[in-house]
Amino acid sequence: MTFTRRAFLQSTIKSVILLGMGNTLPAFMPDNFRLPARKDVKLRFGLASDGHYGEAKSDYAARHQQMTDWLNAEAKGRGLDFVMINGDLFHNDPALLPQVKAAWDKLAVPYYVSHGNHDKTEETHWQSVWGTPFDHVFTKKDVGFITLNTADIKGEYTGPDLEKTRAFLDDYKDKEQVFVFMHITPVKWTKYGIDRPDIVELFSRQANLKAIFQGHDHDEDGMREKDGKYYFWDSHVAGTWGTEYRGYRVVEILKDGSVLTYQTDPSSAKKINNNRIR
């Protein structure tokens, strides 16, 4: 193989960029960057949020069908162990719950849900439909997942319950890794975020907590860092505002303990951004 001076320089420049960015895979890398071998992946899941089923002037039914088709294709391809739908499943009217459940039941893999500020229904009703309370936990292959409620049933932003959060984190302190799902960010990074420094402090102290995933901000699809913890968004499924594309996030937990996550725009088959956590 002939290795020209130009190719050598291009390769060197790319290597310097990667080294300079530490563990982060830059968003301007080509879409065909090599994913880890599938045999090296311990667990793989998808994240989507903010379907706002029933919102006026929103093509919510078509968007849900489109998203379940995309996620099912993802599951059929590289595979998904589960999907998390991270809040605002419907838009204000609790009578829509059976319809939105029917829409998500088209997923070919197990899925979980979190409660959002537009999911305005009593917790008993929520649990009767989804089988879980607002706050709940589950494990997969010794990885702990914590789902936290961030709003009351009137839609007021509350952030998570401090004592429940502390108890969940303590229960999972011996897990290999822990991930948190919550609809509203606990740091006022965005217009619709809130400040919950008490919750952030708990996250910051939890040694095995790898990442926090949130929805709510339809126009956010990237990552923020605080105290060495990483907070990720995933755009939106539907709704009347947000990023121009509708997308979802993929998370790959590797057997070496690292985590690769990337945001996708499936309509154009592009990866919007990607990050690696050691």
Residue 160 is part of a domain; what is its CATH number?
3.60.21.10
Q: Where are the alpha helices (DSSP H) in 151-230?
A: 162-171, 197-205
Buried b (16+ CB within 10 A) or exposed e, 106-119: ebebebbbbbbbbb
Domain containing 115 equals 44-277
Do 126 and 101 form a contact (C-beta atoms < 8 A)? no
Q: Exposure pattern of 255-272 as b/e (b: 16+ CB <10 Å)?
A: eeeebbbbbbbbeeeebb
Q: What is the CA radius of gyration of the chain?
A: 19
Residue 33 confidence (pLDDT): 60
In a domain? residue 8: no
CA-based nearest residue to 92, from 47, 51, 49: 51
At residue 32, the pLDDT reads 52
**Does 170 map to a domain?**
yes
With contact defined as beta carbons under 8 Å apart, do 114 and 148 qualify?
yes
Q: Is residue 27 part of a domain?
A: no
Asked if residue 71 belongs to a domain, the reply is yes
The phi, psi pair for 135, rounded to 5°, reads -100, 125
pLDDT at 177: 98
pLDDT at residue 181, rounded to an integer: 99
Q: How far apart are CA 229 and CA 225, in angstroms?
A: 6
For residue 185, being part of any structural domain is answered with yes
Q: Is position 191 within any domain?
A: yes
Q: Is residue 265 part of a domain?
A: yes
What type of residue is 241?
W
Low-confidence ranges of the chain (pLDDT < 70): 1-33
Alpha helix stretches (DSSP H) within the chain = 5-20, 60-76, 97-104, 123-130, 162-171, 197-205
Q: What is the pLDDT of residue 34?
A: 77
Count CB neighbours of 132 within 10 A.
16
Contact between residue 231 and residue 215 where contact means Cβ atoms under 8 Å apart: no
Q: What does the pLDDT read at residue 92? A: 98
Dihedral sign, Cα of residue 248, residue 265, residue 231, residue 259:
positive
At 93 the pLDDT is: 98
Q: Is residue 10 part of a domain?
A: no
Total domains in the fold of the chain: 1
